[in-house]
Amino acid sequence: MEVTSKNFNKEVIEKSKEIPVVVDFWAEWCRPCLFLGPILEKLSKEYDGKFILVKVNIEQSPLLARIYNIVSIPRVNMFKNGEVADEFVGAMPEPEVKKWLDKNLG
C-alpha cells in the first residue's frame, strides 16, 4: 500500500497501535530500493498478517521524509504503538530482513 502525508497518520500511526506497521521509504530512482521492495512484499505475504507493509515514496511525500529524518534510502521503519520501534537503512538480503522482522515481531 502506498501511503502519503495525507493518510500516514491513519494508515501507520493509528494502525500501529493494533499491529506492527513496516514502512518502506523509497524512491523510483533508487536501485537498492528496487531490490529491497520485492523482498519486503514477499515477506509480508509469508508473515501472513503479523505486520502491515506500507510504502512511502519520498519524492511524493517530502514532508514525511523530513519528519522522519530520511537522509538515505532505502530506509525501513517499524512502527509499534504509534512510534518508531526499530529501523534499518540500506538493502539487505532476505535472510537478514527476516532476522530483523523476527527480532521485532517477537
Neighbours of 2 (CB within 10 A): 11
- Grid coordinates belonging to 88: 534499518
Q: How far apart are CA 99 and CA 88, in angstroms?
A: 12
Q: How far apart are CA 34 and CA 20, in angstroms?
A: 23
Active site residue ranges: 30, 33
Q: How far apart are CA 30 and CA 43, in angstroms?
A: 20
Cα-to-chain-centroid distance, residue 87: 8
